Chain A
Amino acid sequence: MDVMSTGVIAYFVVIASRFGIFTPILSDVEDIKYADPVPQAVILTAIVIGFSIQALMLVGAMKLAQDNPTLETVEIEKNNTP
């Protein structure tokens, strides 16, 4: 899960910096190739959400690990489906 979401975050950053890597801050210098701030702002939200979901899943996994120490999904699924 973490690996996947890191991949997506990296992709957003790549898209943002395709046309330049400078921080978009107002200054006197003209015609610098700015990085696009919008995808970065958006992915910040996604990072926070992804983090909170991972925390939740970890709690669930820890609770399950008490009875299924190996955490094999196949075994857990077998025990828990009607």
Chain B
Amino acid sequence: MSIFTVVWITLPFFVGFLIFLLPKFDRYLALMVGISSAIFAGLIFLEEAPLTLIWLDNFGVSLKIDQLSGFFILTNALVTMAVIFYCWPTDKTAFFYGQSIILHGSVNATFICEDFISLYVALEVLSIASFLLIAYPRNDRQIWVGLRYLFVSNTAMLFYLVGAVLVYQTHHSFNFAGLDKSPPEAFALIFLGLLVKGGIFVAGLWLPLTHSESESPVSALLSGVVVKAGIFPLLRCALLLPNIEPMVRLFGVATALLGVFFAVLEKDSKRMLAFHTVSQLGFILAAPSVGGFYALTHGLVKSSLFLLAGKLPSRNFKELKHTPLDTRVWLALVLASFSISGFPLLAGFGAKVLTMKNLLPWQVIGLNIAAVGTAISFAKFIFLPRGGEKQSLNMGFWWAIFLLIGGLLAANLFYYQAYTLTNTIKPLLTIALGWLAYHLIFQHLAIKLPRFLEQFDHLIGTMSLILLLLFGLVLI
């Protein structure tokens, strides 16, 4: 298994470069990498005990592969495959496929590494690859969004590096476990880096603009898997060190509420989806032990929604209300929205029930409010008019959607114990409440939230505020 792991982790980088040499086979090579990751994730689920690999003594690279990584790797594999299918009939160049495979590889690397320096390298490769993907269309707007992303993430990673060396100073090792007895400033700095990278709470407000202004397949990749690269180490640390867990849970609830607050009031479909990603990341963090399954369902839903949103005639909800959609697109949209609101028979239901079961008492109210907010914001999609004229949609698009929605239906079986009467009634009530609120209040509401928090200067400023907040939280 350990040889196999090494081959699997290097494969995407090797293929990524190979694609530039053999541009004719770009799609096939990229798809092959996606399939290999899916197989690897399957092998992880079959393996009973977690696999730990350590090279070069305690200074060196250490990897840890368990069920949690399995879920994340499977998400990554499915989303990448769907994006490749989606782009198959388009005239995307080998550059796109090469970069997305390198991105795929670096995201995989973050999901298995267990020391701070390998994580740093993986995260930096990831930000370079995603910058190239964002800025690829080369108009001013995309370049600016990409630059902004690169600047924010690189600044965060510098804070992170300082934290990493402080951990090394106390333990002479970069392992995650070393965070336990390190000084509080090390902890605050490392967490700041990961929070910004993962788009959590106020530190994650760079995310909406970046995700909504990129092209649809790129947004699907970013929202489906790339943000999870920042989330995963947080989960890993929370599971490893019990004294960190309450803080991660606190950030989870705060993020879920903040994201959903913006999402409910948003009038632009892609921005709404991006804000909603922020809120769903909160759900993942709120119950670290079962975060993997939630991450899988969210990755599938969010990438399919972004791909669908790219095919809608307009981005503005107001205009969408007056243009009936193609019934087939509408159906896919509704299935995905139902899953994310937690409707039974789709995987989102199991994930929500599982998360709600693993909450601490003080989190329950916050997350229930966030769940209602989710139902309200997705009512915007569900109540769009249907029966419009047929759009010409190619096979690649349908393959991608079938893969993602099919994944949702299949993942449903993973937690079939959720189907009891009380469990089923609660999400239905939540959804009913959300729809009622949407029809009575939010449909007519026209509040435009100020966007000053998303401005570039404020993003950097907020980082230092969050650093102070983290430091305060550790000292308490």
- Asked if chains A and B come from one complex, the reply is yes
Residues of A within 8 A of B (CB): 1, 4-5, 8, 11-12, 15, 38-39, 42-43, 45-46, 49-50, 52-53, 56-57, 60-61, 63-64, 67-68, 73-74, 76-77, 79-82
| Shortest distance from the beta carbon of A12 to any chain B beta carbon, whole Å | 6
Tell me if B168 is interfacial: C-beta within 8 Å of chain A: yes
Q: With A12-B165, A60-B135 as given contacts, are A42 and B117 in contact (CB-CB < 8 Å)?
A: yes
Q: Write out the residue numbers on chain B whose beta carbons fall within 8 Å of the beta carbon of A76.
A: 140, 144
**A20 CA to B165 CA, complexed, in Å:** 17
Closest 5 CB pairs of A and B: A80-B141, A60-B147, A80-B144, A49-B124, A38-B59
**A67 CA to B141 CA, complexed, in Å:** 11
* B140 adjacent to A8 (CB under 8 Å): no
Which of B148-156, B360-368, B464-472 sits within the interface? B148-156
In addition to A50-B154, A53-B127, A80-B140, 16 A-B residue pairs with Cβ atoms within 8 Å of each other are A1-B155, A11-B165, A38-B172, A39-B165, A42-B117, A42-B164, A42-B165, A42-B168, A45-B121, A49-B121, A52-B128, A53-B124, A74-B455, A74-B457, A76-B144, A80-B141
* B162 adjacent to A56 (CB under 8 Å): no
**A20 CA to B150 CA, complexed, in Å:** 36
Q: With A5-B158, A8-B161, A57-B147 as given contacts, are A45 and B140 in contact (CB-CB < 8 Å)?
A: no
Q: Write out the residue numbers on chain B whose beta carbons fall within 8 Å of the beta carbon of A8.
A: 158, 161-162
* A1 adjacent to B161 (CB under 8 Å): no
**A82 CA to B310 CA, complexed, in Å:** 16
CB contacts under 8 Å to A, within B75-130, are 117, 120-121, 124, 127-128
**A35 CA to B121 CA, complexed, in Å:** 24
Q: Write out the residue numbers on chain A whose beta carbons fall within 8 Å of the beta carbon of B146.
A: 60
**A15 CA to B143 CA, complexed, in Å:** 37
* B121 adjacent to A73 (CB under 8 Å): no
* A1 adjacent to B151 (CB under 8 Å): yes
**A60 CA to B59 CA, complexed, in Å:** 36
Q: Write out the residue numbers on chain A whose beta carbons fall within 8 Å of the beta carbon of B135.
A: 60
CB contacts under 8 Å to A, within B326-357, are none
* B131 adjacent to A77 (CB under 8 Å): no
Q: With A45-B117, A45-B121 as given contacts, are A38 and B168 in contact (CB-CB < 8 Å)?
A: yes
* A53 adjacent to B150 (CB under 8 Å): yes
Tell me if B451 is interfacial: C-beta within 8 Å of chain A: yes
Interface centre among B140, B162, B455 (most CB of A within 10 A): B140
Q: In this complex, what residue of B is CB-closest to A4?
A: B158
| Shortest distance from the beta carbon of A54 to any chain B beta carbon, whole Å | 9
Q: In this complex, what residue of B is CB-closest to A50?
A: B154
Q: With A15-B169, A57-B150 as given contacts, are A73 and B457 in contact (CB-CB < 8 Å)?
A: yes
Tell me if B209 is interfacial: C-beta within 8 Å of chain A: yes
Residues of B within 8 A of A (CB): 59, 117, 120-121, 124, 127-128, 131-132, 135, 138, 140-141, 143-147, 150-151, 154-155, 158, 161-162, 164-165, 168-169, 172, 174, 209, 212-213, 268, 451, 455-457
- 5 A-B Cβ contacts within 8 A? A11-B162, A42-B174, A46-B161, A60-B150, A82-B212
What is the count of residue pairs linking A and B with beta-carbon distances less than 8 angstroms?
A: 83
**A82 CA to B268 CA, complexed, in Å:** 10
Residue in contact with B147 in the complex, picked from A4, A64, A74, CB distance below 8 Å: A64
Q: Write out the residue numbers on chain A whose beta carbons fall within 8 Å of the beta carbon of B145.
A: 80
**A4 CA to B212 CA, complexed, in Å:** 29
Residue in contact with A77 in the complex, picked from B120, B144, B161, CB distance below 8 Å: B144
**A64 CA to B147 CA, complexed, in Å:** 10
Q: In this complex, what residue of B is CB-closest to A39?
A: B165
Q: Write out the residue numbers on chain A whose beta carbons fall within 8 Å of the beta carbon of B268.
A: 82
| Shortest distance from the beta carbon of A75 to any chain B beta carbon, whole Å | 11
| Shortest distance from the beta carbon of A40 to any chain B beta carbon, whole Å | 11
Residue in contact with B151 in the complex, picked from A15, A38, A57, A63, CB distance below 8 Å: A57
| Shortest distance from the beta carbon of A19 to any chain B beta carbon, whole Å | 11
* A56 adjacent to B131 (CB under 8 Å): yes
**A12 CA to B166 CA, complexed, in Å:** 9
Q: Write out the residue numbers on chain B whose beta carbons fall within 8 Å of the beta carbon of A79.
A: 140
**A43 CA to B162 CA, complexed, in Å:** 10
Interface centre among A15, A42, A61 (most CB of B within 10 A): A42
Q: Write out the residue numbers on chain A whose beta carbons fall within 8 Å of the beta carbon of B127.
A: 53
Q: In this complex, what residue of B is CB-closest to A79?
A: B140
* A53 adjacent to B154 (CB under 8 Å): yes
| Shortest distance from the beta carbon of A22 to any chain B beta carbon, whole Å | 18
* A63 adjacent to B138 (CB under 8 Å): yes
Q: In this complex, what residue of B is CB-closest to A49?
A: B124
Residue in contact with B150 in the complex, picked from A46, A56, A68, CB distance below 8 Å: A56
Q: In this complex, what residue of A is CB-closest to B138?
A: A63
